[in-house]
Structure 1
Amino acid sequence: MSTGQQNPRQLPTEINICSQETIQVIWKHSLRAKRLSLRIAPHEQKLVVTIPQGCSPTQALTFANKNHAWIKDRLQQLIKAPSFSDNNTILIRGKPYLIVHAPQQSGGAWLENNRLMVSGDLTFINRRVTDFLRTHAATVLKKEVQHMAQITGLHPSRVDIRDTTSRWGSCSTSGRIMLSWRVIMAPDWVRHYLIAHELSHLRHMNHGPLFWQQVISITPYRKQAETWLRQKGSLLLHAR
């Protein structure tokens, strides 16, 4: 839960991350956060600093300034992130597909061999690719969650597919599981791990030893999936 306070007067609206580069900053006070944290808002390309209760503005600013290397690295990843535009390649279920503009055809967007065909005006491509991926994700991910729930006996109260760029998924205390539609770009075995992770929270709402025992009892892919997500996950979260 956030108090809604952003950019307090005693904190700057931007910081220098090198001699010739600055980044705008959103300072967010949170009653739920347990520690200072950073993330890049990909569409605005702003730095978001989450400040826990009891942390002073000076501590928050020092924390941000100590992480210039991390900030610059994340900004570089944004530049490399897949673009939903004509003649670019994106991943769908871990496989590469070339985006091909088909202006004379109709039907929005559809898969054809190793291509993602997109009809209509060139200016519609980004939106139509995004809409296709979100719809495809809702169909595939909900089926995968349902299948794993039947095998494990871990049944969520609800499954929501959302547009998130800072996390792959979450599980609420009410049993509702949320997955980012961007998960659909990851390989099958990565999705298997991510779904197992969230379903395991239905039994253990923490990341303690019992939780991880539950995860590995469901999926054999934890280590390789976490490695893949560290190496490539940020690019998918920032794809646009």
Structure 2
Amino acid sequence: MMFLKKTLPQHRFSPVNHVEFSGFSVEVVRKPYKRNMSLIIRPSGRMRVYVNRSTSVKEIYAFLRIHEKWILRTQSEVRKLKEKYPPKKFMEGEEFLFLGQSKKLFFQESPKKRIQFYLQDSLLVCLCSKGERSNKEKIKKALLDFYKKEGKKTLEQRVFLYAHQMQLYPKKLSFRAQKSLWGSCSSAKHISLNWKLIAAPLWVLDYVVVHELAHLRYHNHSKRFWGLVQRHCPQWQQSKEWLDKNRYEFEFLSVKSELWEDVS
């Protein structure tokens, strides 16, 4: 133990947890066997630098200065995303995506304690008591329950439709809420789909369904696989692009937002 204590180069650094750089707070995470420094910027803009426990503050600043242009460019992109996708306030008139269409939140007073949602033309109607109308936490939970229920129902219908069309049938179908994975297909023919797809246009949702069903025949992304997808979903490329470009359209369906980590 004495030998280990002597070899720790504790004199080289101050055990700081954060440093300030270009107007941003950077969390410092020390790892005993970390050879090279690395930096991550989360979608919310939070920054974290991983360093060896012997790395000095001076060395950390030198590393950050090298990557300053990238930091500023990325933080600028984060700022634009936050402007485009502000946190939901669950106020009347606020818009929510459902099957690619914008639905305005409308409150309808109800004597029942349970908060419920239903769709009526261009409206997303929230049935709740007058006292619960300001309870954002309960309203959000009820909204997520509604989207989850509708997502499962719609996805089940589309899987049934395309399974018969493609003559490919999963042995098991389940639903999850994941951040970036829209679907998966195991070697045991178990298909899992992300119920958050209910916010996307139907033609986008269909692409994910066809994509996973195609994996029942081809467990790869070969030319044959894409040929099968193309036959049953000609617009698959546009659908894939839509998902890539509109990732944060689904943020309101997350229990904890990636963009707004500090907002409940």
- Kindly tell me: are residues 139 and 212 of structure 1, through their superposed partners in 2, closer, same or farther at Cα, counting changes over 3 Å? same
The question of whether the paired residues in 2 share the 8 Å contact of 1:84 and 1:129 is answered with no
The question of whether the paired residues in 2 share the 8 Å contact of 1:86 and 1:125 is answered with no
* Number of the residue aligned with 2:252: 239
1:19 to 19, 22, 39: 22
- Kindly tell me: are residues 13 and 214 of structure 1, through their superposed partners in 2, closer, same or farther at Cα, counting changes over 3 Å? farther
* Number of the residue aligned with 2:147: 133
Alignment partners' CA distance in 1, 2:222 and 2:84: 35
Shift of 1:21: 2.4
**Which letter does structure 2 place at the counterpart of 1:216?**
Q
* Number of the residue aligned with 1:54: none
Equivalent pairs counted in the alignment come to 203
**Which letter does structure 2 place at the counterpart of 1:238?**
E
2:108 to 102, 106, 112: 102
The question of whether the paired residues in 2 share the 8 Å contact of 1:101 and 1:125 is answered with no
Alignment partners' CA distance in 1, 2:41 and 2:185: 20
Is 66-75 or 113-122 further displaced after alignment?
Answer: 66-75
* Number of the residue aligned with 1:146: 160
**Which letter does structure 1 place at the counterpart of 2:145?**
D
- Measured against aligned partners, the alpha-carbon deviations of 1:25-74 in whole angstroms (never above 9, x if no partner) come to 99xxxxxxxxxxx89577xx86799xxxxxxxxxxx99xx6964457635
The question of whether the paired residues in 2 share the 8 Å contact of 1:103 and 1:119 is answered with yes
- Kindly tell me: are residues 217 and 161 of structure 1, through their superposed partners in 2, closer, same or farther at Cα, counting changes over 3 Å? same
**Which letter does structure 1 place at the counterpart of 2:185?**
C
Q: 1 or 2, which has the higher strand percentage?
A: 1
The question of whether the paired residues in 1 share the 8 Å contact of 2:151 and 2:195 is answered with yes
**Which letter does structure 1 place at the counterpart of 2:77?**
D
Q: TM-score if structure 1 supplies the norm length?
A: 0.70
Q: Which has the higher Rg, Structure 1 or Structure 2?
A: 2
Alignment partners' CA distance in 2, 1:153 and 1:39: 44
**Which letter does structure 1 place at the counterpart of 2:181?**
R
2:173 to 152, 159, 167: 159
**For structure 1, which runs of at least 5 residues remain unmatched after alignment?**
1-11, 27-37, 50-60
Alignment partners' CA distance in 2, 1:152 and 1:222: 15
Q: TM-score if structure 2 supplies the norm length?
A: 0.64
The question of whether the paired residues in 1 share the 8 Å contact of 2:107 and 2:125 is answered with yes
Percent of aligned pairs with the same amino acid: 24
Partner SS, residue 239 of structure 1:
helix
Are 1:89 and 2:89 an aligned pair?
Answer: no
1:80 to 84, 87, 91: 84
The question of whether the paired residues in 2 share the 8 Å contact of 1:162 and 1:180 is answered with yes
